[in-house]
Structure 1
Amino acid sequence: MKEMRQKTERINLGVLEKNEQYNDQMTDICEFIHKFVPGHSEEENCAQEPQKVLSGGDYLTYERHKQAKNCKSNCRTPSKQLKGLVPKIEEFHNQAEFLKLIWSLLYDTSSSNSIGTLYAARNKMNSRNVPSDPHDNFYASSEFMDKVTTAYIIAGGLHHFKMENLHSKPKPDYAGPVGDHDAMKEYIMEHAHQFVENHAVPHVQNLPDYGIQSNDIKCRYCDKEYRRPMSLRKHEARIHGHPDPQFNQQSGISPPVKTSYKSSVYDYTKLCLTLGLLRLNHNDAIRFGDGERLLRLAKFFCLYYKGGKCPKYAFALLETTAQAQCLLSERQAERFVWNRTVNHQGKIDTNHPNDLDLEHCNKVFKEDVHTYRGKYTEKTILRVSRSALATDGICKKFDNVSSVRQCSGKHKKTDMADDIQLLAEQLHSIGNVFDIDDSRVHDSFPNLKDPLASLNMEDIQTWISGSLKKFSSKHYV
């Protein structure tokens, strides 16, 4: 925490008239960035390996960056091959994508009369700025989800401690050791653990032990190598008797049978609370710059993206985990984990993602360059790009000294206590959303199911193994 609170130093390299959507222009961007990598050389016969520097962005930039590196993989020198750049996906766009996943699972405009749903909560709190697509207004959707998650936690606490309302006291059996601070803290943490175990931990199948266990497709008993995973599985089942329901009829294991499923109100509550707590955890890790926690949460997000039909981000986060665990050296992996946020205040709990900081820089640059009304040259763009942030800081200080009031442009937190209390009371007293009653269902979500529970773990194991084999042969790692 002491290191992550240090103030970040930002150096502007300029702005290029390039479009990252096109492969040739993204290659030009990477070549421009690589000139600033330590160890870069323009010599034709230089075999010196440059130092690796992280280069992050949103998903589109991430994919185009990898394609650009692959296009240059046959060049003669390491610098020409762009070996000094390590592409990575950043956290702000990951925040937005996870919020969109929550909307796709739990937000439906036809559920306005179903107490406990997101759309009913939106109407209850009169949050008219919350759109049907969170990408249309990310900050309004993010604030709304914070309110809903907090209200669910409060309603869950009232249900757990058998309290009638917000102003009543817990039942005598749940009163706790009043007066002893340490004992009360331990008591609260114990009940919080019970609450999370009961209402927020999804039940997921374990990875099967009958799939291939080696990326080399080698038998675990006799080390015989195969070219295809299915041939290896057949060999282990029929020659060595390894249990595999697809090839060994004597194993006693039968593949899972798909059955019809009808969700209840409690299933919606559990999924909403689980996703909300994961999101709060992710946001808290960003604010503190906790890279280890971000990479740990990436594993959860990867599976939720896979089960929630977001295959691109699932693959990207699987690759992110692989980069930290095995693809990069220990030194580079350490940098990869802990260089995901910036801090411009020098205080704890004030970090924000790298890509969000870049979006702020882009906003300042665009406001400055618009004053030229489209009549600008490459020299003008370079000058404005290097001076925009400095002049913006001078103008803000001048306005502050001159007592000029204007919109700061920052997203400030509003007082959410009234909305949270209103929603929590509705969830507890009217909705009873934590009561386990299979007969109560939300009509708009008749077949809602946790994405993790619907995953086929055999397919997931095959996907992970095949993806790791792809990663190991790529140039961009």
Structure 2
Amino acid sequence: MNFLEAIYKLTYNTGMAGDPCTVHYYRNLLGHRSAKGPVKNAYRAYKMLYYTILDAICVILFMDKLGSADISDVTLPDFSQMTPNDSIQWLNSICQELVRKYFFENAEDIVEEIRNVLENPQHEENYWTSSIENGRFKCHHCEKDYKRVSSLKAHESGMHGVSLSNPKKKKEPSSDELQDYILMLFKLTMLLRNFDSGVDMGDGGRCIRSAKYELPIYHKTNKIKYTICSIHTTALSSGLLNPDQEERFIANRFVNIQGGKNNNIALDEYIEMLNRDTKASCTGHKTKDSILKHAKEYLQNNLKRLVNWVKRISSSSILCN
């Protein structure tokens, strides 16, 4: 939900309802009236809107690859003479070319700003943070120190006349802003769908790798807490944990509460469901007599949920400690 919220910040604008090919324009055109307000209050409505637009973009790119927007004008292989594996291989080869062309080639480097800071020791940001001692930022010219970088900047610029500025590269204007917008929408929604399908399939490895792609999106939209969380997740799965702990960390991220394939949900979402049910169970029971009257029923319901959850975890191939 937070990743979709970050995508929403980059692509959605209610003031663009009259601009064709924007998300809000398609929201009105398709009649997705439930996609309104904050993303957290209409998560599935917004997700279905973005997925519908993504499906349309994929079809357009596929037809363009075949050379025509009309299926009657396209020459397709004779699938009746092909084995199922050959048909799938033909389809995958085209999809692979589309992903390589529209997702990876000429991609905008949205972490360029971070990379410039890390690679350039003389960068302005490195100058201000190089004098940190015991969690405080020390002035380069006197004995004063400060808790925040902004205070240090104000002090050195006011008292010592320090002024640092790195020239910013001017981005060349694009010849087709609409195409850039559609491709950005395609890339971001593809990342969301990749992560979403990884959760459904219980593919911990894919979800862990997805955190690397989510990180710059969170940074771009000023979602600092989730930027740190992505760094933390990537670090734990990239050598900080011993092999056994790393395997458990990657594999045990989901729970299947209804059975069947591709019906997994993330553990944090399951905890939110339990939290919601707990609050619903406690609604209205605010007096001592009411709490005692319903305590037995409340505990029995939650113990049943806990026992069922432990049984599902114990039946998995990898056990949690």
What TM-score do the two structures reach when normalised by structure 2? 0.70
- Partner amino acid for 1:185? I
Q: Deviations over 1:264-288 (max 9, x none)?
A: 1100110000011111110100011
Question: Which has the higher mean CA deviation after the structures are superposed, 117-126 or 351-360?
Answer: 351-360
Query: Alignment partner for residue 169 of structure 2, among 253, 257, 270?
Result: 257
List aligned pairs for 1:247-326, cutoff 5 A.
257-259=169-171, 261-262=173-174, 264-326=177-239
The alpha-carbon deviation at position 159 of structure 1 amounts to 2.2
Which residue does 2:57 correspond to in 1? 152
Unaligned runs of 5+ in 1: 1-95, 214-226, 230-253, 393-477
Cross-structure match for 1:191: 94
SS of residue matched to 1:372: coil
> How many Å apart are 1:307 and its aligned residue?
2.7
**Offset of 1:350 from its aligned partner?**
0.8
SS at match of 1:176: coil
What percentage of aligned pairs have identical amino acids?
A: 20
Shift of 1:121: 0.6
Alignment partner, residue 44 of structure 1: none
Aligned in 2, Cα 1:153/1:116: closer, same or farther, shift over 3 Å? Answer: same
Q: Say whether 1:102 aligns with 2:7.
A: yes
Are residues 1:176 and 2:77 paired? yes
State the distance in 2 between where 1:101 and 1:334 align.
Answer: 29
Q: Tell me how far apart the structure 2 counterparts of residues 180 and 256 of structure 1 sit (CA, whole Å).
A: 55
Any conservation in 2 of the 1:364–1:389 contact (CA below 8 Å)?
no
Find out whether 1:211 has 2:119 as its counterpart: yes
Q: 1:307 to 1:371 in 2, by over 3 A?
A: closer
For structure 2, the 5+ residue unaligned runs are 122-128, 132-165, 306-321
1:112 corresponding residue in structure 2:
17
Select the structure with the greater relative contact order (CA < 8 A; seq sep ≥ 6): 1
Give the letter for the 1:300 counterpart: Y
2:285 pairs with 372, 382, 385, which one?
372
Structure 2 CA distance for partners of 1:283 and 1:259, relative to 1, 3 Å: closer
User: What's the C-alpha RMSD, in Å, of the aligned pairs?
Assistant: 3.1
Counterpart for residue 256 of structure 2: 343
The number of aligned residues is: 256
Which residue does 1:54 correspond to in 2?
none
Residue 370 of structure 1 deviates from its aligned partner by 2.5
Q: Is residue 2:275 matched to residue 1:362? A: yes
* 1:163 pairs with 2:68: yes
Larger helix proportion of the pair: 2
Moved over 4 A (4+): 205-208, 373-382, 389-392
Contact 2:285 2:291 in 1 (8 A): no
1:182-223 CA-to-partner distances (Å, cap 9, x unmatched) read: 333222111101111222222438868x9389xxxxxxxxxx
1:88 corresponds to which residue?
A: none
User: Residues of 2 paired with 1:377 and 1:196: CA distance?
Assistant: 59
Are residues 1:332 and 2:209 paired?
no
Contact (CA 8 Å) 1:199, 1:270: kept in 2 or not?
Answer: yes
Q: Once the 2 structures are TM-superposed, how far is the Cα of residue 97 of structure 1 from its aligned partner?
A: 1.0
CA distance 1:290–1:381, shift in 2 (3 Å): farther
Offset, 1:363: 2.7
Deviation at 1:259, TM superposition (A): 3.2
In 2, Cα distance between the equivalents of 1:125 and 1:376? 52
Displacement of 1:127: 1.0
TM-score (norm 1): 0.48
Q: Report the counterpart of residue 152 of structure 2 in structure 1.
A: none
Report the residue type matching 2:184 in the other structure: L
1:353 to 245, 266, 269: 266
Match of 2:36 in 1: 131
User: Cα distance, 1:357 vs. partner?
Assistant: 1.1
